[in-house]
Amino acid sequence: MEEFYGTIAIVGRPNAGKSSLFNRFCKERIAITSEVAGTTRDVKKNIFLLKERPYLLLDTGGLDNQNDLFKSVSKHSLLAGEGADLILYLVDGKQPPSNEDKSIFYALEKKNPNIFLVVNKIDNEKEEANAWEFSSFGAKRVFFISVSHNRGINKLENAIEKEFKNHNKNLENLLQNQDEEDLEDLLLEEDNTQEEIINIGIIGRVNVGKSSLLNALLKEERSVVSSIEGTTIDPVDEIGYINNVRVKFVDTAGIRRRGKIEGLEKFALHRTKGVLERTDIAILVLDASKPFVELDEKIAGLVDEYKLGVIVVLNKWDIAHKDFKAIMEDFKLRFKFLEYAPILTISAKNGRHIQKLEEEILKVYKNFSSRLSTSVLNNLIKEATQKHPIPSDRGKITKIYYATQFDCKPPQIALIMNRPNSLHFSYKRYLVNFLRQRMDFSGTRIIFIARGKNAFKEEEDNN
């Protein structure tokens, strides 16, 4: 896990400005903000720097028990607050203190005495003078701020730093008292945190079970699960381990048909695409309990658009609408462009084949990031061209001088040729299939690019 000086949870009822404060601390718009109550549903995490020291900041969903979805949101938020080193309990200073806020504040204070009462939307001194009513909370530390006007934020940050000062001193003393062997172990542990991490995006349309799958992979209830469509809005990311390999799972917002995307979901779609730019492997979740639809194909197209490794998951297999053979026939008809993808039947709800999915993630990532030696690659290309020669270009011989892999994630191979423009896409497809027959490239694209001798040399020199 990444090193940080402490965990800070921003907790409060809907529309108090939690996500705005989260963004202010992080100095960028990470969490979606809106006047719509319940915009934040899952716990959003980010490292933020305070006086050059890293802290883990949690933006929690609004505490509200109006329906089953928000009861689940509230449960996650309260657990995040109870487990944090410091709680910032945020209230709306434009409204008089509510009994519900007081009850929640007292309950949290019993579980975690390290709690600040932060009164937001206090835009000027006059409003602060009128906010005396909030003294009825009996909080030991009260701060009056305005996130939108950047008022009182420095004072709050200084108080946070002071709160963690003793913790930091204890940490420094612990390090000083370590004997040589312990320090060596500590350094080894720190080195391990720098290991490569596999970034995995969980994609699919709304209500196919992405959040349930994330929870099953993490073996804990990390993401809010609800039958209400569009529950996940902000991408939810979490670090986990598969056989001691670090992975970052991101549960992206479900995607609807364009005509049905409304309000907050426009932000969600934009965030999903932003996540995919930083993703290595996409887990495409399809609902096996219903027939595939056109939107499933469009979402699957994002795999090619962002050049990702891919694993297809047929979720809700315990209530599949057809047998395996019939569903696979439908899949092959609609998703011809994903013929290289491994396909698993799972049930995130009861844990069916989750371990198998974890094994597949490591396997696909190995293929996705693999590099072929030049000698092995050229032997394979030579064998392929001998078995099926390259068609001539209007009677002129077209030949490959040599091949070299110039990039990975996914594997990208340059074919250095005398007539690069003459290589037909169908012959590239033949070469891809030939490589797949000889080596394991399941779950990843193989990209061939034809280049002339001089063009590739110039490209290498520029790089």
- The DSSP string of 190-206 is HHHTTS--EEEEEE-BT
In the three-class reduction of DSSP (H, G, I as helix; E, B as strand; rest coil), residue 404 is classed as strand
CATH number at residue 117: 3.40.50.300
Question: Is residue 71 in a domain?
Answer: yes
Backbone CA torsion sign across 440, 442, 447, 448 = positive
**Which residues span the domain enclosing 75?**
7-175
Cα–Cα distance, 339 to 343 (Å, whole number): 10
In the three-class reduction of DSSP (H, G, I as helix; E, B as strand; rest coil), residue 286 is classed as strand
pLDDT of residue 173: 53
Question: Is residue 192 in a domain?
Answer: no
pLDDT at 49 over 80: yes
Is the same domain home to 358 and 378?
no
- Residue 43 binned pLDDT confidence (cut-offs 50, 70, 90): low
What pTM value is reported for the model? 0.62
Nearest CA among 206, 347, 374 for reference residue 289? 347
Cα–Cα distance, 86 to 89 (Å, whole number): 10
Residue numbers belonging to the annotated binding site for GTP: 59-63, 120-123, 204-211, 251-255, 315-318
Nearest CA among 127, 124, 139 for reference residue 89? 139
Is the same domain home to 405 and 352?
no
- Residue 395 binned pLDDT confidence (cut-offs 50, 70, 90): confident
pLDDT at 106 over 90: no
CATH number at residue 431: 3.30.300.20
Question: Is residue 1 in a domain?
Answer: no
Is the same domain home to 63 and 90?
yes
Contacts of 58 (CB under 8 A, 6+ apart): 7, 8, 9, 10, 43, 44, 45, 80, 84
- Residue 174 binned pLDDT confidence (cut-offs 50, 70, 90): very low
Is the same domain home to 67 and 112?
yes
Question: Is residue 319 in a domain?
Answer: yes
Domains contained in the chain, number:
3
Question: Given 369, 389, 416, which residue is the final one in a domain?
Answer: 369
Question: Given 322, 341, 369, which residue is the final one in a domain?
Answer: 369
Cα–Cα distance, 78 to 120 (Å, whole number): 20
Question: Is residue 448 in a domain?
Answer: yes
Is the same domain home to 362 and 396?
no
Is the same domain home to 156 and 284?
no
Is the same domain home to 31 and 163?
yes
Question: Is residue 185 in a domain?
Answer: no
pLDDT at 48 over 50: yes
- Residue 264 binned pLDDT confidence (cut-offs 50, 70, 90): very low
Share of the chain above pLDDT 70, in %: 74
Question: Is residue 181 in a domain?
Answer: no
As a whole number, mean pLDDT of residues 426-436 equals 96
Question: What is the tens place of the pLDDT at every residue in 366-390?
Answer: 999 999 999 999 999 999 999 999 9
Is the same domain home to 219 and 361?
yes
Cα–Cα distance, 83 to 161 (Å, whole number): 19
Question: Is residue 188 in a domain?
Answer: no
Token pair listed for 197? 């991490």
Cα–Cα distance, 62 to 53 (Å, whole number): 28
Is the same domain home to 129 and 240?
no
Residue numbers belonging to the annotated binding site: 59-63, 120-123, 204-211, 251-255, 315-318
Share of the chain above pLDDT 90, in %: 39
Question: What is the tens place of the pLDDT at every residue in 283-327?
Answer: 999 999 999 988 889 889 989 989 999 999 999 999 999 999 999
Is the same domain home to 125 and 159?
yes
Cα–Cα distance, 214 to 254 (Å, whole number): 13
Is the same domain home to 31 and 59?
yes
First to last CA, the chain: 34
pLDDT of residue 136: 85
The secondary structure element, H or E, covering residue 210 is helix 210-218
Beta strands in 189-275 (DSSP E): 198-203, 236-242, 245-251
Question: Given 369, 386, 420, which residue is the final one in a domain?
Answer: 369
Is the same domain home to 83 and 210?
no
